[in-house]
Each structure stands twice: as structure tokens, then as C-alpha cells.
Amino acid sequence: MVFLTLAVFLGAGLVAGSFFRFASMVSEVSPPAVLSSDGIVVLTGGSDRITQALHLFKASEAKRLLISGVHPQTTREQIVRTTDSDMKLFECCVDLDRKALNTTDNARETAKWAHREGFSELLVVTSSYHMPRSLLELQAAMPDITLVPYPVVRDDLDVSHWYVDGATTRLLLREYVKYMVARFRTEARFDLGTTAAASLASD
């Protein structure tokens, strides 16, 4: 019984420590000092992300911008109106991904786009709390491409002091669970791939 109690406390401590590291990761991610990426990808989830990505695209030397996870019924015209943007910019240099339904799909469709365009470095735009999981999924989908995070911080979220606000704490806890699931899945996939490659090499 004592051993079981100790094991429970130890497990709880490990999970708590892991969550604190995740929360620290979210609060510490910062934008790059210089915008030098070939392309920019923004993962949908709020018009503020797309607006920020459009501003970054105009201010950078990136060749194209991908908006990943656009609803199938959302038109370019609607996005232009919502973000107060320019249709000429969309016709010239903005691509819409309507296939992605989640972050894993975002990564897969972004990898296809980046390889098709021949990009070697991508600026990744998404919410700060979503960035760790996004980078994890994107890196697994395209390990040959450099990813540069550009977190978008919501005005109503103080991720640096998440512990003083219940809503922010719950948001980070939910995202932490999703992050850990994605981490276990990507690591398991990598291990299986490594094992298969080693088996083929030994045949």
C-alpha cells in the first residue's frame, strides 16, 4: 500500500513537472528578430492569426503564404473582408488549404505545399499556446525544412501568468494533453520507422 501511494505521488509529480515545462515553453517562445523565411504558413483558429500572417508577409521577403485549415465554404473574398486585406495579394501570393481539419492535417498539407514550392525555411504563425504542438507535428511531417515560430498572443490571455486565471489554466491543460498525445504518436512513428529501416538494412 505504501509503495502504491508513493508511486501515485511520484507519477503526479512527474506529470506536474511536465506540465510546468510545457507552460514555460509556451510563455518563452518569441518571434524572430529577422524575417528571412522562404514561405509563411498560418494555422487557422482565429482571424487574428491570419491578419498577423498577412502583415508579416507584406513586411518580409517570403515568396508565398499558406493559410492552412480554411473552411471549405469560406471564400477568398470573405477572408479579404475579415482581415481588411487586398484581393490582389491573395490572387498573387496566397494559397488556401481546405483539406486540413486538425493540426496533424495542417502539418501534412503544409509539408506538401512547402516541398512543392521548394522552400527550405518556413515561418510558422499560430497562437502561442498552440505553437509547441504545431512545431512538433510540422517537424515530424517535414524534418528537412527549418521551422521558425512566430507566436500570436491573444489580448485576453496572459500565458506568462497562467496560474492566476482559471480560464487560461484550463486552456493550457487541454493543450498540454493534446501536445503529449501528439508527442507520443510522433515518437512512436519515428521509432517504428527507425526499426523498419534497421531491419531492411540488415536483410
pLDDT tens digits for range 33-82: 888 899 999 999 877 899 999 999 999 999 999 999 999 999 999 999 99
Contacts of 45 (CB under 8 A, 6+ apart): 69, 126, 127, 130
Query: Is 1's pLDDT higher than 80?
Result: no
pLDDT in tens, 120-174: 999 999 999 999 999 999 999 999 999 999 999 887 888 888 989 999 999 999 9
Q: Which among 106, 94, 124 is positioned nearest to 68, based on CA atoms?
A: 106
Q: DSSP letter string over 18-29?
A: HHHHHHHHHHH-
pLDDT of residue 160: 86
For residue 191, what pLDDT band results from cuts at 50, 70 and 90? low
DSSP 153: P
For residue 180, what pLDDT band results from cuts at 50, 70 and 90? very high
Query: Is 200's pLDDT higher than 90?
Result: no
Q: Mean per-residue pLDDT for 171-184?
A: 95
Distance CA 110, CA 105 (A): 8
Query: Is 202's pLDDT higher than 70?
Result: no
Per DSSP, helices labelled H in 60-165 are: 76-83, 87-93, 103-117, 131-141
Task: Give the containing element (helix H, strand E) for 127.
Answer: strand 121-127
Q: Residue 138 corresponds to which cell in the numbers above?
A: 510540422
| 36 backbone dihedrals φ, ψ, rounded to 5° | -130, 10
Q: Which residue has the higher pLDDT, 158 or 104?
A: 104
List, in order of start, the domains of the chain with CATH numbers.
Answer: 34-154+161-193 (3.40.50.620)
Buried b (16+ CB within 10 A) or exposed e, 8-24: eeeeeeeeeeebeebbe
The CA dihedral of 76, 78, 84, 86, to the nearest 10 degrees, is 30
| 69 backbone dihedrals φ, ψ, rounded to 5° | 95, 25
pLDDT of residue 59: 92
Q: Which among 91, 165, 90, 156 is positioned nearest to 127, based on CA atoms?
A: 156
Q: Which residue has the higher pLDDT, 176 or 191?
A: 176
Q: Which among 68, 194, 168 is positioned nearest to 122, based on CA atoms?
A: 68
- Specify the range with the lowest mean pLDDT, choosing from 11-15, 82-86, 108-112, 173-177: 11-15
Instruction: Provide the edge-to-edge strand list for the sheet that holds 39-43.
Output: 94-97, 64-68, 39-43, 121-127, 146-152
Q: Are 172 and 26 in contact (CB under 8 A)?
A: yes
Q: Mean per-residue pLDDT for 102-114?
A: 97
Tell me the C-alpha to C-alpha distance, in Å, between residue 139 and each of 17, 147, 161, 185. Answer: 24, 7, 28, 13
pLDDT of residue 4: 67
